[in-house]
Amino acid sequence: MTDTQEVKDLQYGDNQIQVLEGLEAVRKRPGMYIGSTNQRGLHHLIYEIVDNSIDEALAGKCNEITVTLHADGSVSVQDNGRGIPSGIHPKAGIPTTEVVFTVLHAGGKFGGGGYKISGGLHGVGASVVNALSEWMEIENCHDGKAYTERFERGAVVRPLTCIGNTTRSGLYVRFKPDPEIFSELEYDYTTVCNRLREQAFLNAGLTIVLEDQRDFESLSHSGEIIAVADEDSDASTNRVVREEEQAYNKFCFEGGIKSFVDHLNQKKHATTLHEEPIYFTRESEVCLAEIAMQYNDGYSEMLMTYANNIHTPEGGTHETGFKTGLSKVYNDYARRYGYLKDADKNFSGEDVREGLTVVVSVRLTEAEFEGQTKTKLGNSEVRTFVDALVVEKLGEFFEENPTVAKVLVEKAVGAMRAREAAKKAREATRRKSVLESGGLPGKLRDCQNRDRELTELFLVEGDSAGGTATDARDSKFQAILPLRGKILNVEKARLDRIYSSVQIIPIIQALGCGIGDEFDIEKLRYGKIILMADADVDGAHIQTLLLTFFFRHMRELVDRGHIYCATPPLYKVYKGKQQRYAFSDEERDEKIAELGGVGVRAERYKGLGEMDKEQLWETTMDPAVRTLKQVTVEDAAYADEIFSILMGDKVEPRREFIEKNAKYVTNLDF
């Protein structure tokens, strides 16, 4: 943490831990507190505890955090912060440490003076994790004393006990998620690793260690350590490597969010337009803002925003301020130096953000988040603060670096011309009645119901499969749109080409919500958009092309959970009049055994068109028995990387990705 970021060491004692309410409802309604009880909610438990340690780092009292995934399914988080005050709480009448772990909305972040800046503003972290754990043990080192306590399903089973003097300080929390609560109990190493790496980027100089002992228990800490230095001199990662898997990662990035932007562009294998990320920062009494940005030669933007280290995927006032300030700088500079001559013409926001990778991070004393999940920042003063910062600092950068400014402004000019060409193509298409209000593509077999929440649109590969699907469907609520040929790869195309694509225009027309600056989720005609393609390589390619289109140009449909992939069977297994369907090679073998083995035949479907309407309905389209896979984006940066690799111009990264991951594929799965 720099001198300008350093927070004064305010008085931090038992009376700074304030109690707001009880903990009764957590186990009954866990989704209200952690979002879900699937793997996403499972990972959220780790993040809640880590966020508390991050808050200690923001207070300038912690510089190392260690997260361990243990072989018994438990997780531990240890920091070298101040620990928790352990005297008797003046209002609760029980040890303050116990208050933090057993009472909802208890913590040092509600104006008591313990923290100036905190991500855990709802204060539910420690107590909710405790309530949703089969057991939790803590070791708390504070003010020269070490204490331990054990809980089971939120209740104290071993009271807080002082075990002696210590020279250490900090908190160790180990918990095991409760199988009575969670449907999944297996932590994904990559998911946790990505989250912790992100936090290390956002907190320059903070060291975060992740160790996985589940498959490497015998190694303990004595395994071979291989030091791997990133190309950036300020970023390093240490790993234990065994059987091509990672067991240990250590993250520390002195470059902070500048290193983050470097990392994002390197993962996308993008060609950058200027050597170093542009970085600027400013601090006031109530807000600290940091921005790092770098352009590449691609067409998609990646804007990552954070408030008090919390990712805000829905943006908010800090994102609005950045976008507004960026447009002002570009338009003022371009008009001053003759890039824009028409007084009525300005760059749009999309023009100036084409190919931009940017991280915006703000820290506030009183952050206002919209909703429990904290996905959108609401502080109105942040918009003007960030806007002014961008206008001043980026404006200065352009004046001091005219060569870079020229390259970036000329890219924006190219984007503007493509946008104008797209507008003309769109208007020309409208004149042909393709995008007129109410106009629908000729091949669309629409459904009878007009209630969006009850309807679904199948995007089906090929006319043959489209015909079968039309015969198989329930026309009350299921619409069919056959797609002919592989659609345009939008990763390599601007909007003007999209509006001239005979494969994409019918999709835009059928959905009704537009794309780009015309996108309006309220005009969406169907609640579910289901991609239904053959279960082979060509079908997978078509699904990837469609997913790329939705991710890049109708991202809100993905974010709101409207996109699904159908799961047609791979095999028909039959003996006489008995038949079964199998969705994998393993299931095929199970069905063969189920029908008696001898005389059983298994036929591989070559495509959807090979099934008759009854088979397609009962395996793939009937809501009572079908399997739909909802497309979600848990990690936008990772999704952006994958789409860039798989659909981008560069062949070598794609080959490396396929070679690395092909061995894990037993069936094409989205």
CA–CA gap between residue 115 and residue 542 (Å, rounded): 51
Catalytic status, residue 461: yes
- Catalytic residue from among 536, 556, 590, 618: 536
Is 491 catalytic? The answer is no
φ, ψ dihedrals at 562, nearest 5°: -90, -15
Q: Which two tokens stand for residue 70?
A: 């243990």
* CA quadruple 177, 181, 185, 189: dihedral, nearest 10: -70
Q: Which long-range contacts (CB under 8 A, 24 or more apart) does 419-423 make?
A: 419/348, 419/350, 419/351, 419/494, 419/495, 419/496, 421/496, 422/494, 422/495, 422/496, 422/498, 422/499, 422/516
Cα separation of 560 and 517, whole Å? Answer: 18
For residue 78, give the nearest of 144, 156, 174 by alpha carbon: 174
Catalytic residue among 538, 603, 656, 669: 538
Q: What are phi and psi of 3, to 5 degrees?
A: -60, -35
Sign for the pseudo-dihedral over CA of 479, 556, 324, 490: negative
Our answer to whether residue 215 is catalytic in this structure is: no
| Beta bridge partners of residue 145, listed in sequence order | 142, 165
Helix (H) or strand (E) holding 660: helix 651-661
- Helices in 118-187 by DSSP H: which ranges? 125-131
The residue from 290, 534, 587, 641 that is catalytic is 534
What three-state secondary structure class fits 12? Answer: coil
**Dist. CA 65–CA 196, nearest whole Å:** 10
The closest alpha carbon to 115, from 28, 56, 42, belongs to 56
Joined together, the tokens standing for residue 395 give: 């404006």
**Distance of alpha carbon 583 from alpha carbon 7, whole angstroms:** 57
**Closest by Cα among 350, 349, 330 to 340:** 330
Neighbouring C-beta atoms of residue 598, cutoff 10 Å? 7
Catalytic residue among 446, 461, 640, 641: 461
Question: Is residue 536 annotated as part of the catalytic site, yes or no?
Answer: yes
- For residue 207, the surrounding DSSP H or E stretch is strand 207-212
**Which residue is it, tokens 């062949």?**
651
List, by residue number, the catalytic residues: 461, 534, 536, 538
